[in-house]
Chains A and B, each alone.
Chain A
Amino acid sequence: MIIWTFAIIATVIVLGFLVGRLRALGMARAGIGTLHSLPTYHGLLVGSAGFLGAAIAAIAVAFLDASPAFFAPAAAAILGTGAIAATNTLISRNFRARNYFEALVRMVLVVSSGVAILTTMGIVFSVLFETLAFFREVSPIAFLFGTHWAPTSTPPSFGILPLLAGTLLITVIAVAVAAPLGLFSAIYMAEYASRSARGVFKPVLEMLAGIPTVVLGFFAALTVAPLIRRAGETLGLNVASESALAAGLVMGMMIVPLISSLADDIINAVPQTLRDGSYAMGATKSETIKRVVLPAALPGIVSAFILAISRAIGETMIVVMAAGLAPNLTFNPLAAVTTITVQIVTLLVGDQEFNSAKTLSAFALGFVLFTFTLVLNYIALRVVQRYREQYD
C-alpha cells in the first residue's frame, strides 16, 4: 500500500499543478501581464497545497495505525484533492501566487538546513542519556580512572585508562607516520612539483584517500601485521600477532592524504610576495620554505595535525581488524592493545540486552570519543582563527 500512497501523492501534485495553471491561464485572456504571478506559480502553489494535504493525511493515518491498508492512500487522495479545490478558489488576477510559493520554498530551505542541528542534537541526546544511565550504575570516577577494563567478567569492571592508553599509542604511531609524510608531500606538491608531476601524485593521494578503511584493515591484519611479526622475530623481538604498530602504521598511511591536502591548501594560501621577498635576499628555495613559508603557514599546519589526530582517534575499522581486543595498559608498540572504538564495536555488535551496564558502557565510550573529537576540532578551529596572519 505504500507504493499506492506514493503514487496518489504524486498524482495529486501533478493534478494540482495542472488545475492551478489552467485556471490562472483562463483568467489571463487579456494577456499574461494582467496577472500578478505567472500561471506556473499558481500551478506550483496549488500543487504544493495538494502535496501538503495528501502527505499530512497519509502520515496521520499511518500514525493512527488504522486498518484496512487502503485507508492511507484513500485519505491522501481525499484530503489532497480537497486542498487543491480550496486553494484553487483563491486564484484571481491579483492573487500573489509567486510570493506565497516563494515563502513556502524558503521555509523548506530553512527546515533542510536545520537538519544539521537536529542531527547534532540527536547525537548529543542519544549518547548523553545512555551515558547518564550508565553512570547510575558505575561511578564516573571508577570509569575515568579505573585501570582495568573487563565489561564481560563478573563482577564487570569499567576502567577506561587501558583503552585511552591504547588509543593514544596507536594515534601517536599514526601521526608519527602521517605528519612527516603528509607535510613533505604537501610541500613538494605545492612548491616543487611540475604540472605533470602533480598529475601523477595527486591521483595517487586521492586514491589513497578513497580506499575504504575496511580494506586498509584487511591489509593491516593479513599483510602488514605478519610482516612486522616476522621482521620482529628476525631481530629477536617478541611481537604480538595483533600489534599496535601494524594498526598504527596503516592508519598513518590513511591519514597522509588528509594532512597533505589540508597543508597543500594552506601553503598555497601563503602569498607569493613573501617568497619573492625571500628569494630577493638570496635564499634558496628550501631556505625560503623553512624560514618563510612554513612559519607563515604554521597555524594552518598545526590545525591540520590536530584534525588528523581527531581522525585517528575516531577511526574504527583498521583497529577493529588489526589491533585486537586485549585491554593492556602499555605503551609498547609491539604489544596488542585495544582502543575506544574497538570496544564500542565489540560491545554493540551481536545480540545485546539494552540497559545492561555492558551495553550502556559502549555509549559512555561513545560520549568520551565524541567529546574528544569535539574538543580537538574546536582547538583546530581556534588555532587558525587566533594565529592566522592577515595578508591583505
Chain B
Amino acid sequence: MTDAFTARRYRSERRFRLYGVLALGISMLFLSYLLFDIISKAVPGFVESRVTLNVSLDATKIDAANIKGSDFDGLLKETLRAEFPDVTTRGDKKKLTALLSSAAGDDLRSLVIANPALIGTKVRYPALLSDEADLFLKGVAGGSALDEAKAKFLAALRDRGDVEKHFALRFFTSGDSREPEQAGILGAVMGSLLALLVTLGLSVPLGIAAALYLEEFAPKNRLTDFIEVNINNLAAVPSIIFGLLGLALFINVFGMPRSAPVTGGLVLALLVLPTIIIAARAALRAVPPSIKEAALGVGASHQQAVFHHVLPLAVPGILTGIILGVARALGETAPLLMIGMVAFIVDVPKGFSDAATVLPVQIFLWSDLPEVAFQARTAGAIVVLLVILFSFNALAIYLRKRFERRW
C-alpha cells in the first residue's frame, strides 16, 4: 500500500537512524582500536629477557667482608666471555659484554648480600639483558638493526637454551632510569599518590563546604551570583592555565618547592574544585526538601537539619563526584609540566616536598625518548594508568547504582 513518497520517507528514516548507529560505532571502534593498540604495545614491556650464566662466586673475587664493593659486573662479564671462548678480538668482546644490562651486576650483588652463604659456590644466575638484546629476542624491529656480531651471539645463546623470559617485576618496583630495561613506574606512582593526597585533603573539605553554603545557606544576592559565575567559569578554564597560576603564584611568589607533590597537589586541587562543587551541589539538590522541612518542623536549627539529615543523604552522590574529580586529577598532565614535575627523577619520592613526577607526566617523558624499548614501557605505564582510572570509574558507577535513591 505504500506509495513511492512514503517509501522514500521510510528510507530516509532508516538512513537517519543508521547515522546514529554509525556515529556510536565509530566511537566504539576508535576506543577499541586505541585500547588494542596500546595493550599490544605494552605486553612486551611486561616481560624482560635474561641470560642464564653459571657464575662461580669465587671467594677470591668476592670479598665476604665487603660485598658492596666487589665487582659483580666484571664477574658476570667474565662468565659471559667464558661462554664464547672463540671470541678473541677486543671489539667483539666488548660487543658481547654490552649485551648485559648494567643492572645485572647490581641484581647479583643484592642476591649475595641477602644470602652471603652463596660465596664460594657456583650458581645458575639469570642475568638481565640490555634493552636492544631484549628487543632482538622479542623480535621487535628496533629503530636501527642490531649489530651483526651481537645478533650472532644472542642467536647462539638462544639456541643453547640459555635465554629466559621473566615477568618484569622491576617495572613496578623501581624508579625511572635512563636504561629502558631498568626503568620502572614506582616513583611516578608514588608521586601521583602523594599529589592526590594533597588534592583530596584540600578539595574535598573546600568543595563540600562551598557546595553546602551555595546550595543550603547562601542568600540570593550579587556576591553568591558572582561566586557561581566564577565556579562555572573555572570549570571551563583550560587546565594549562592552572599550571601558569601555579608557576607564577605558588612557586614564584609564595616560594613553594618546584617539582614537588605538594605544589602539584595544590594546583590539581584548584583544578578539580569546581567539578567537585558542581557535583556536590547536584547531590544536595537531589535530596527532597521535605526531609529538611520535617527536621525544621520538629525544632532543629537550620544547620542541624542540613548536617544531620540532608548531608548524610547526599553523601553517595558527593562521593561519586569526588571519585570522578580524582580520576580527572590523576590523568592530568599539562598543569604539572608548568610547575616542573617533568624532571628526570630516579629516586622514589618519600615526602610531599621531594622532587617527584606523576604517572601521566612519566608517560609523556618516556614517549619523547628515542630508544625504541621505551615505547613498550610507555604503553605499559599507560595500561597501569588506565586500569587505575577505569577502576575509579567503576567504583563511581557502583556507588551510584548501590546507593541511588528515588524519592
Q: How far is the CA of A363 from the CA of B243 in the complex (A)?
A: 11
Q: How far is the CA of A349 from the CA of B252 in the complex (A)?
A: 15
Identity of the chain A residue whose Cβ is nearest the Cβ of B241 in the assembled complex: A370
Residues in B with CB closer than 8 Å to A211 are 31, 34, 331, 386, 389
Smallest beta-carbon distance A212→chain B, Å: 3
Is B213's CB within 8 Å of the partner chain A?
yes
Query: Given contacts A112-B206, A119-B234, A208-B30, is CB(A284)–CB(B13) below 8 Å?
Result: yes
Most B CB contacts (10 A, CB to CB) among A120, A187, A208, A290 go to: A120
Interface of A is mostly: helix
Is B137's CB within 8 Å of the partner chain A?
no
| Contact residues, A173-210 vs B (CB, 8 A) | 180-185, 187-189, 192-193, 201, 204-208, 210
From B19, B217, B240, contact of A366 by CB (8 A): B240
Smallest beta-carbon distance A382→chain B, Å: 12
Q: How far is the CA of A16 from the CA of B12 in the complex (A)?
A: 74
User: Interface code B323-362, partner A: CB below 8 Å = 1, 0 otherwise?
Assistant: 0000100111110011000100000000000000000110
Q: Mind listing 6 A-B residue pairs with CB under 8 Å?
A: A113-B214, A120-B230, A184-B20, A218-B363, A257-B27, A341-B240
User: Interface code B220-262, partner A: CB below 8 Å = 1, 0 otherwise?
Assistant: 0000101100111110111111111101110011000000000
Is B274's CB within 8 Å of the partner chain A?
yes
Smallest beta-carbon distance B229→chain A, Å: 9
Residues in B with CB closer than 8 Å to A210 are 327, 331, 389-390, 393
Q: How far is the CA of A363 from the CA of B248 in the complex (A)?
A: 9
Query: Given contacts A181-B26, A341-B334, is CB(A115)–CB(B210) below 8 Å?
Result: yes
Q: How far is the CA of A311 from the CA of B273 in the complex (A)?
A: 18
Is A354's CB within 8 Å of the partner chain B?
yes
Instruction: A183-B23, A192-B17 given; name 8 further pairs at CB < 8 Å.
Output: A109-B217, A181-B26, A201-B24, A204-B28, A214-B367, A218-B367, A286-B15, A369-B241
What interface size band does chain A fall in? 35 or more
Question: Are B248 and A130 closer than 8 Å at their CB atoms?
Answer: yes
Question: Are B20 and A187 closer than 8 Å at their CB atoms?
Answer: yes
Identity of the chain A residue whose Cβ is nearest the Cβ of B246 in the assembled complex: A126
Query: Given contacts A126-B249, A316-B334, is CB(A219)–CB(B210) below 8 Å?
Result: no
From A105, A185, A289, A310, contact of B16 by CB (8 A): A289
Question: Are B270 and A119 closer than 8 Å at their CB atoms?
Answer: yes
Query: Given contacts A105-B303, A369-B240, is CB(A317)–CB(B364) below 8 Å?
Result: yes
Question: Are A253 and B30 closer than 8 Å at their CB atoms?
Answer: yes
Question: Are B333 and A212 closer than 8 Å at their CB atoms?
Answer: yes
User: Interface code A345-363, partner B: CB below 8 Å = 1, 0 otherwise?
Assistant: 1001110001000000011
Is B382's CB within 8 Å of the partner chain A?
yes
Is A332's CB within 8 Å of the partner chain B?
no
From A112, A284, A321, contact of B364 by CB (8 A): A321
Residues in A with CB closer than 8 Å to B224 are 113
What interface size band does chain B fall in? 35 or more
Residues in B with CB closer than 8 Å to A109 are 209-210, 212-213, 217
Question: Are B218 and A113 closer than 8 Å at their CB atoms?
Answer: yes
Is A76's CB within 8 Å of the partner chain B?
no
Q: How far is the CA of A127 from the CA of B338 in the complex (A)?
A: 13
Which B residues contact A (CB, under 8 angstroms)?
9-10, 12-13, 15-17, 19-24, 26-28, 30-31, 34, 37-38, 41, 205-206, 209-210, 212-214, 217-218, 224, 226-227, 230-234, 236-245, 247-249, 252-253, 270, 273-274, 277, 301-303, 327, 330-334, 337-338, 342, 360-361, 363-364, 367, 375, 378-379, 382, 385-386, 389-390, 393
Q: How far is the CA of A377 from the CA of B238 in the complex (A)?
A: 11
Question: Are B303 and A102 closer than 8 Å at their CB atoms?
Answer: yes
Is A30's CB within 8 Å of the partner chain B?
no
Q: How far is the CA of A181 from the CA of B236 in the complex (A)?
A: 22
Residues in B with CB closer than 8 Å to A213 are 331, 333-334
Residues in B with CB closer than 8 Å to A381 are 232
Residues in A with CB closer than 8 Å to B333 are 212-214, 316-317
Question: Are B252 and A354 closer than 8 Å at their CB atoms?
Answer: yes
Interface of B is mostly: helix
Q: How far is the CA of A189 from the CA of B204 in the complex (A)?
A: 33
Identity of the chain A residue whose Cβ is nearest the Cβ of B202 in the assembled complex: A115
Is A69's CB within 8 Å of the partner chain B?
no
Residues in B with CB closer than 8 Å to A214 are 331, 333, 360-361, 363-364, 367
Residues in B with CB closer than 8 Å to A193 are 20
Smallest beta-carbon distance A213→chain B, Å: 7
Q: How far is the CA of A223 from the CA of B40 in the complex (A)?
A: 12
From B20, B22, B337, B379, contact of A348 by CB (8 A): B337
Question: Are B382 and A113 closer than 8 Å at their CB atoms?
Answer: no
Identity of the chain A residue whose Cβ is nearest the Cβ of B20 in the assembled complex: A188
Identity of the chain A residue whose Cβ is nearest the Cβ of B10 in the assembled complex: A284
Q: How far is the CA of A204 from the CA of B28 in the complex (A)?
A: 6
Is A72's CB within 8 Å of the partner chain B?
no
Residues in A with CB closer than 8 Å to B26 are 181
Question: Are A212 and B209 closer than 8 Å at their CB atoms?
Answer: no
Identity of the chain A residue whose Cβ is nearest the Cβ of B28 in the assembled complex: A204
Residues in A with CB closer than 8 Å to B247 are 126, 348
User: Interface code A86-102, partner B: CB below 8 Å = 1, 0 otherwise?
Assistant: 00000000000010001
Nearest 8 interchain pairs by C-beta: A314-B238, A188-B20, A212-B331, A126-B248, A112-B209, A286-B16, A184-B23, A109-B213
Is A116's CB within 8 Å of the partner chain B?
yes
Most B CB contacts (10 A, CB to CB) among A125, A216, A366 go to: A366
Question: Are A117 and B31 closer than 8 Å at their CB atoms?
Answer: no
Smallest beta-carbon distance A172→chain B, Å: 18
Is A315's CB within 8 Å of the partner chain B?
yes
Identity of the chain A residue whose Cβ is nearest the Cβ of B15 in the assembled complex: A286
Question: Are B30 and A123 closer than 8 Å at their CB atoms?
Answer: no
